[in-house]
Structure 1
Amino acid sequence: MRRLKDSLLNSPDFTVIAELTSGQGYSMDPIVRFLEAHKASGGSEIPKGFDFASIALPQNPGGISNLDPTDVLAQLSGTGLLDDLDFIPHMSCKDHNKAALHSVLVGYKQRGVQSVLALTGDKPVSAKGVFELEAVGLLQLISKMNLKELLKGGHDDLSQIPQFFSGAAVSPFKYSEPSQLQQYFKMEKKAACGARFFITQVGWDWKKSLELKFYMEEAKLNLPVLGNCYFLTSTNAAPRLMNSGHLPGCYVSDELLATLKSETKEQHIERCAQQIAMYRAMDYAGIDLGGIHDYETFCIILQRAAEIGEGWVEFQDNLCRPPEATFYLYDQEGGRTPLAPGKKPCTSAGSASCTKPCSTPATKASMD
């Protein structure tokens, strides 16, 4: 089995992850058909310079019940469909407490899974969430497991000791100063707690995609980041749900939603390819491509992205669909935007000049 880690850290090619989900009625058919088509072609339709390295399996996306990644892995084991692809389960904290998360990780390790994406997770739609840990706590748990494995191994075989290669999410698609800075500060915290790569949330704003690269450079976060591309079409509910806020972390503006309704499938394919070409030109390490279960369409999009290349700039207006009120941390040349002045702090508890109680260290802004 190939490894995402090798693709991101040791390959000069642009890494591609296919994000797959089960079909109606929890059917495995869409996932199996996709992988069977890839195996039959031997990857010959993947364009040069692109490395289709792995598939990713979300865990109840949007808080709606779906096949769990552990069950998908169990059904794919022994089929040979994963022989040349890494398997990346999304691990969220919404459904499990700390002990259960640890058990899931132990099970993945025993099955040879190396790459995981650590997420807080979406609030369940029809159940009560757990959230004993969130993404940072899960990354800390994974790091402790990695450390214990190293301590058990001898000094001569450290490179052979299985280690989780853990990733995390970050959203550059926040349009107020507090929410955007909170995302970036938490990204740094995730890196400090063991994240080895990042995948962005979903959005269509090339200025924000560039902003994330500027911030990572300024913060000296030398970690691979993959852009999240979702194949938006007018034939399913995803764009409407993203627009209404029912798919957390995914943003479709009113303008983009209206445009989609008047477009053809070919125009949908073109926008997706343009976004992939954009991420590649911005020196992202790769992309996470979701919303596609037809392998032929998957390859057509990648081939078109390879053709567009640096020419994505010609289509930049098609990839900039922000809300009316916007905040950008940098201009297009990387210059910092002046931040809003901070509130005057209280000099001491109970001071005559202090009209409100002083906040505790655990403010709402720090608990995301």
Structure 2
Amino acid sequence: MTETPTAALSSAGVSIWLDDLSRSRINSGDLQRLIAERNVVGVTTNPTIFAGALANGESYAEQVAVLSAEGVDASRAVFEITTDDVAAASKIFSSIYESSDGYDGRVSIEVEPGLAHDATGTVVQAQELWAKVGQPNAMIKIPATEAGLVAITEVIALGISVNVTLIFSLERYRAVINAFLTGLERARTAGHDLSTIHSVASFFVSRVDAEIDKRLAAVGTKEALALRSKAGIANAQLAYQVFEQAFDSERARGLLAAGARKQRPLWASTGVKDPSLPDTLYVTGLVAAGVVNTMPEKTLEATFDHGVVTGDTVTRAYDEANAVLDAVDATGVSYTEVTELLEKEGVEKFVVSWNELLETVDTALRAAR
């Protein structure tokens, strides 16, 4: 049999994770199908995903009725519902987790977005989520805000696996890696088994293009327009270079020798925003060994159907990637301004989704009463 594109992607060293989760997907067997037929080896979630699942999910009615009878508020109900889904999905992936020695089979759940600038609150809730899910292959998602960096170190130091989210700039990515390594150093001092602590760093891709392309179009010159839809991939390619350099440092090598695992880059926001672009652009354009690509189902199916995997498309592109970002800067479009805006907007969008989720659940609880 000819190897499918998703199988080829896996063979090239890319772990395919699904950027979606719902109880109906779990109960119907669809998640198991994607594991068997689409090479999916993990799942990521966020407040937007759960807001959509709860808004359209009859499969939650029974649990909502029970929670309503118990008199819990919407916030507690969301905690119970989402952690139950993540625990159930984690059990489905347990065999992959075990066979890959913890490398894959991961399911992520995010702290409340309202805690993005509250390091102490993030650490407290990360522990609550970790304990409630109760599965070793879970990951707690923490945004890479300034406060998030502090929390990442503290949570890693506690021996909890972390998915760092909302990374847009290379500078912030370096700070994320430093927070991870500092956390490992503290975990080692505390006597934790470093081999059990896993982390990924979610570097967002298509949102970078969406914002930079808008600004390039406003500049309107031939040179600016020729750069559209190139910055997102270039930025991610250079992130991989940062990853390679950081984990080849003396500091990192010492921790790896003590049993630690590398914090893998994860490509997030890999669904194209511009319909004129190839729908597999942020998959086939970012193939490198040891990365994760978390895809919405539409992107996953497009990749399976017609993705062309040609091997590594990252490590030989560093010079070209640097040239792209330099050229963008030369047009007057500020990389720093864009990435700072995207972090701010990313947090705000998740807060909106979280509030929609609370409203949906609150309405359901009141209806059940």
Superposition TM-score tier, normalisation by shorter sequence:
0.3 to 0.5
Larger radius of gyration: 1
* Higher relative contact order (CA closer than 8 Å, sequence separation 6+): 2
